[in-house]
Amino acid sequence: MPRFVPDSRPISAQHAIAEFYREEFLKHHRCLQRQRAYYSESAITDVEAALTKVMGQLEHLSTRDNAPQLVSSLLKKFDVVTGLSAWSDPKQSH
């Protein structure tokens, strides 16, 4: 029977939080991709650049004292463009 050796690298709380945030930003990216036809190429490029920048800084951002408020604010700004919360909000379904 094969023996599994656990990964010896410690997982910090900040890393787990950063990964959670990363998944939220990836949801916005996927939503944006589904809506590509409705935006200009320059708008898509600008939003993708902003998403890439934020996702590249998530490890750092998640260590800040105000991380939940800061990331929440950023997610809300992306939501203005993608409308993701309206898609996933059960109150919005018919």
The answer to whether the beta carbons of residues 61 and 70 sit under 8 Å apart is yes
Domain boundaries along the sequence of the chain: 13-75
pLDDT of residue 2 exceeding 60: no
Q: How confident is the model at residue 15 (pLDDT cuts 50, 70, 90)?
A: confident
Q: How confident is the model at residue 69 (pLDDT cuts 50, 70, 90)?
A: very high
pLDDT in tens, 24-45: 999 999 999 999 999 999 999 9
**pLDDT confidence of residue 27:** 96
End-to-end Cα spacing for the chain: 51
Query: Secondary structure of 18-66 in the HEC alphabet?
Result: HHHHHHHHHHHHHHHHHCHHHCCHHHHHHHHHHHHHHHHCHHHHCCCCC
